[in-house]
Structure 1
Amino acid sequence: MLCLGIESTAHTFGCAVVDKTSRVLADARDVYRAPEGKGIHPREASRHHIEASADVLKQALESAGASMKDVDIIGYSAGPGLGPCLRVGAVVARTLAGYHKKPLVPVNHALGHIELGAMLTGARDPLVLLVSGGHTMILAFSYGRWRVFGETLDITVGQLLDQFGRAMGFASPCGSRIEELAGQSGEYTQLPYVVKGNDVSFSGLLTAAIRLAEKSDVPSVCYSLQETSFAMLAEAVERALSFTGKKEMMIVGGVSANRRLAAMLASACERQESRFYACPIKFAGDNGAQIAWTALLDYSATKNKVAVKDASVTQSWRLDTVDVAWRG
């Protein structure tokens, strides 16, 4: 059984083909690049997706050695995300499903990060830290859903890095550039550290870091920003591990590619005698494989699908509202 997954929640338009034996047969992507110092403009990103969609789809099918006749299911990212971008992916998915008479499965983007990460790492029952431009959440699976044990109270850690980076004139996404600069310094300056229970707050940290950069060198501010924000996340994760008793911990999402954050979490897991898993960097960011694999799991377990005319998107589709029938 083959599933074509279409991802279009933000800056990435991706198509991937995954089979029921957990093989990613193809993963094609094209990323919208914002001008330096600017963030993602939804209208411009959606225009990029429209222009890139045909080539990305063709590349994915050719890489998989398949045609639309071979595809059994089509999954698409139905939210959360940027409305104009989500709608491009939904239109492509609806068109393909309607013309080729294929089952159409809407997928929660955040759930896709988790399920693909679990498939690639082998994690079975982990505490999950989902960190990206759109999410900062600590989750554990219980009674048919992923339950939130902690989250951001304002902006996400991905937004923290991107907004700081844009203030420094970097092009979004800014995480890799900040990580590079942080590696050039070891000078720490104290910044606001806000953890409330298992929740975190980054807005005050962002303001303080931007002000500090006006009178200090940027690499040292990047170092301090990373150390502070990642320590906050590590504290909240370690507390959640102690509370839940989970013996596995997995990090997924675009920010999971940061090696310093992974190192801090690995130390927390060691203290709690939990095994640490990190989604492979290649699949840390948004991609079609996360949509294809989750759609395949969903359809195999429930035969869940939507009629082409009813296929819609939801910009604010929370992960903890999604029923997950394929997990015990």
Structure 2
Amino acid sequence: MPDAASTRAAPTASTASSTTLAIGFEGSANKISVGVARADGTILANPRETYVTPPGTGFLPRETAKHHRDVVVELARRALEEAKASMRDVDAVCFTRGPGMGAPLTTAAACARTLALLFDKPLVGVNHCVAHIEMGRLVTGARDPVVLYASGGNTQVIAYNERRYRIFGETIDIAVGNMLDRFARVCGLSNDPAPGYNIEQEAKKGTKFIEGPYGVKGMDVNLSGILTFYETYAKEHLGAGEVTVADLCMSMQETVFSMLVEITERAMAHTNAKDVLIVGGVGCNLRLQEMMAIMASERGGKLYGLDEDGRMDDRFCIDNGAMIAYTGLLQYENGETTPLEKTWCTQRFRTDEVLVTWRSEAVKRPASCEPPTV
């Protein structure tokens, strides 16, 4: 994966200066990344390191945080070198405030605070989920799509309305990425480069569909029961040679992705939208992209982000520092900074808690979509 790329800017309400520069720190899970971005949407650097554990295991907060502490300083140095900039050129230091794993989050935030204090720069705390959306809009040119945010820690269907990204549907138990990761452990699949990626490769070889439960609950999805079903099936039938790992991976993928496409389409119908955007690490999955693109096409719309090879830019689906730097700049350009005493992190920071100050365009929504009074 290239460490830097130039992208075009998505529509914003601010009058961004092309010279305004930010450095962003992302460390909410097992990836630590430092990005450098300009307010015009140019990504100057985006190096990343991933904490990879042995097959059959997950990553624990303490060990993940230690990994991040070991590499974050060098990553920051690399990012500035690739951007051909110094901290004196930086206008704002941005960091992921949440959601995510507590210990890894605080590692990235501590590094951001240190740099801000050393060089007397303002700090900007960024919502991880909103950063994914804004990066998706930036790199694809999408103006106002319905968004499926699918990652290791989050699964939400989102649409913009009245200065907030409203959540129309979500998981009611575990996130889709977490579910895939846990099933990969049962199958003994490698965590390198990612469990979900290795499930995707196995699924391509599957030939026998094992029907499991289908957990759509209105606009929400229930994933833990599906995980339990396929875990139990694997333990009972894999050893007997009745089914292969590839069959199970294919069956789980088809079931779960069908559920995600269904609730996304329901949100599109509700908001009178035709276009869709997938963000988050699970958005790298080609089968999910294929299924979503078919649905959008049948509705007379499109899936944003597919390039000439029919896939999305994985560099910006996966957690990265550039998305934090860019979204932090949108906030900074609209007068938002985070006082030092409020630069704490939180594991629970919902997408719809953020007031989207940088978007003011009117979006036509049906009356039933009006936000509640708060």
Which letter does structure 1 place at the counterpart of 2:212?
A: L
Partner of 1:288: 321
Asked whether the 8 Å contact 1:38–1:171 carries over to 2, the reply is no
Question: Residues 91-135 of structure 1, C-alpha deviation per residue, up to 9 Å, x if partnerless?
Answer: 101000011011100000011100001000000011000000011
Question: Residues 261-287 of structure 1, C-alpha deviation per residue, up to 9 Å, x if partnerless?
Answer: 001101110121122114521211110
Of 45-54 and 233-242, deviating more is 233-242
Partner of 1:110: 129
Partner of 1:308: 340
Task: Give runs of aligned pairs for residues 172-187 of structure 1, distance below 5 A.
Answer: 172=191, 173-187=194-208
Task: Give runs of aligned pairs for residues 13-24 of structure 1, distance below 5 A.
Answer: 13-24=32-43
Partner of 2:356: 324
**When you count strand as a share of all residues, which structure comes out higher?**
1
Partner of 2:245: 218
Asked whether the 8 Å contact 1:97–1:308 carries over to 2, the reply is no
Which letter does structure 2 place at the counterpart of 1:321?
A: E
Q: CA deviation at 1:170?
A: 2.5
Distance in 2, Cα, partners of 1:60 & 1:270: 39
SS in 2 for 1:277: coil
Which letter does structure 2 place at the counterpart of 1:254?
A: G
Distance in 2, Cα, partners of 1:194 & 1:16: 37
SS in 2 for 1:88: helix
The equivalent position to 1:193 in structure 2, one of 214, 231, 234, is 214
Gaps of 5+ in 2: 1-19, 238-242, 306-311, 361-374
The equivalent position to 1:297 in structure 2, one of 306, 319, 330, is 330
The equivalent position to 1:11 in structure 2, one of 27, 30, 35, is 30
Distance in 1, Cα, partners of 2:172 & 2:299: 25
Give the aligned length.
327
Q: CA deviation at 1:308?
A: 2.3
Distance in 2, Cα, partners of 1:299 & 1:266: 34
Asked whether the 8 Å contact 1:152–1:200 carries over to 2, the reply is yes
What's the RMSD between the two structures over aligned residues? 1.0
Of 52-61 and 170-179, deviating more is 170-179
Identity of aligned residues (%): 42
Asked whether the 8 Å contact 1:76–1:89 carries over to 2, the reply is yes
Q: TM-score, normalised by structure 2?
A: 0.86
Task: Give runs of aligned pairs for residues 146-165 of structure 1, distance below 5 A.
Answer: 146-165=165-184
Say if 2:72 is the partner of 1:39: no
Q: CA deviation at 1:186?
A: 2.8
Q: TM-score, normalised by structure 1?
A: 0.98
Which letter does structure 2 place at the counterpart of 1:70?
A: D
